[in-house]
Amino acid sequence: MSSLDRARETQLNNIQKKTGRSLAEVRELIQNSGLTKHGEIRSMLMQELGLGYGDANSLVHFAQESDGQSAADASGATTNDVVDEIYSGPKAALRPIHDRLMEEINKLGSFEIAPKKGYLSLRRKKQFATIGPGTKSRVDVGLNMKGLEATPRLLMELPGSMCQYKVKITDVFEVDDELVAWLRTAYDSSG
């Protein structure tokens, strides 16, 4: 079981303790509500069970048997399909930056790509980086590594964020030796 699966299991167990209801009872409550939209179900759970947004959101994903993030789902979408979607429309101009990043990351060694709705999660034993548009004119690279001093370029993220650091890239030439070294550090520390 991955650390993400363990965290989800712990959260669901804690929700059952808070509400005094089993997961089967919560599923029944959702089914009997007649609601089908994610946001409506979440709001109902917040009101009916006195849950916070995050717990209610997790319950909806549990009841709908989704992880809330995966973009390559039962529709048969491939990683390339997801990347094409992420870098479509006004974000299409960012695709060369993404491609250059992936070219360098692929040189690091083997890893898994977990496509999400708006970014890619890159993992070995654990996630070492995320890549995706931060805005219409910028690609954000999230990095998981410890012990580095933040710089004007290597931005420290808030505790509890998906990654410890972020680098904002607006030009393909910013995929340079410094960034590749940070990617290597994150890659090496992930397993």
Q: What is the percent of the chain with per-residue pLDDT over 70, rounded to a whole number?
A: 90
Whether pLDDT at 80 is above 80: yes
pLDDT in tens, 109-127: 998 888 888 899 898 888 9
- Output b/e per residue, 155-188; b: 16+ Cβ within 10 A: eeeeeeeebbbbbebeeeebbeeebeebbbbbbe
Tens of pLDDT, residue by residue over 7-47, are 778 888 888 888 898 888 888 888 888 887 777 888 888 88
Q: State what percent of residues in the chain have pLDDT above 90.
A: 44
Q: Which residues pair with 121 in a beta bridge?
A: 114, 130
Would you give the distance in Å from CA 52 to the centre of its chain?
20
43: region left, alpha or beta (phi > 0 left; psi from -120 to 50 alpha): alpha
